[in-house]
Structure 1
Amino acid sequence: MLYEMIGIVRPGNLAEVKEIVLTAGQIILRQGGVVRDIKNWGVFMLPRATSRHQVRYTRGHYFVLRYDAGVSTHEAVRSTLAVDPRVIRAAGVKLGDGKLETLSRLGPINWKKMEV
């Protein structure tokens, strides 16, 4: 199945974001999955202040990871990111119904800038 995961990492160090994405990618590849796309969205304000591992965050570094994998692989990635103290939040969704014609309509990962 095709999954898309949006992760929010504590801001301030791009090397941490790269290391977290590398760890998630290695889990996917070791279990026979395929990484389809990775995007770095950068640092943004969180929708609301969030506490994680006894630290309060108002900003976060966003990234998106799109991959094909089984359910067990998806659960392994989620559980690994959940225990990492550098990750503020990570959420994944299954895209489409698994059929090729549905998945071909999904284009690249975009970020729509808000007009102020």
Structure 2
Amino acid sequence: MLYEMIAVVRVGRPHNTNEVKEIARTAGNLILAQGGVVRGITNWGPFLLTKPTKKNQMRHDSGHHFIMRFDASPAVQQLVRKTIAIDPRMIRCGVVKMGERLKDIVDVKGTVDWQRKRADLGSGYF
């Protein structure tokens, strides 16, 4: 089955992508070790969150977003989600099933393109 994981990692001071890379690498290694396939990882960078969030006794106003698309069994998807969610550097993580039949997922790319346009996002993001 094809899954898409959307993860929000805390933004370090000064902003450093090493934490994001480590978390993405951990998730990717789990998927590969269990016989899954990572289709791609897209780094969207830091953004303001829609509302402030408290996690691990810290308040977060922004987070570094990345998306990973992968093929794996439901058990592997649960393992990845649970492992990533307990990392104290994570703010939020969500996994969405994009399809389970080949005809549904054959044309899905590994990366997720998103054009940053001020008119589309509203004034709250910039």
TM-score bucket (shorter structure): over 0.9
Q: 1:99 aligns with which of 86, 98, 101?
A: 101
The residue that corresponds to 2:72 in the other structure is 69
- Tell me, in whole angstroms, the C-alpha distance in 1 between the residues paired with 2:72 and 2:105: 14
- Tell me, in whole angstroms, the C-alpha distance in 2 between the residues paired with 1:112 and 1:93: 21
CA RMSD of the aligned region, Å?
1.1
Q: In the TM superposition, what whole-angstrom CA distance separates every residue of 1:49-74 from its partner, at most 9, and x where no partner exists?
A: 00000000000000000000001110
- Tell me, in whole angstroms, the C-alpha distance in 2 between the residues paired with 1:4 and 1:112: 19
The residue that corresponds to 1:9 in the other structure is 9
What are the residue-to-residue correspondences of 1:16-95 with 2, within 5 Å?
16-95=19-98
In structure 2, the gaps of 5 or more residues are 120-126
Deviating 4+ runs (over 3 angstroms): none
- Tell me, in whole angstroms, the C-alpha distance in 2 between the residues paired with 1:13 and 1:115: 25
Count of matched residue pairs: 115
Q: 1:115 aligns with which of 108, 114, 118?
A: 118
Q: In the TM superposition, what whole-angstrom CA distance separates every residue of 1:33-87 from its partner, at most 9, and x where no partner exists?
A: 0000101000000010000000000000000000000011101111111110000
- Tell me, in whole angstroms, the C-alpha distance in 1 between the residues paired with 2:78 and 2:104: 23
- Tell me, in whole angstroms, the C-alpha distance in 2 between the residues paired with 1:55 and 1:106: 37
Seq. identity, %: 47
Task: Please give the secondary structure, in 1, of the residue aligned with 2:118.
Answer: coil
Q: TM-score by structure 2 length?
A: 0.86
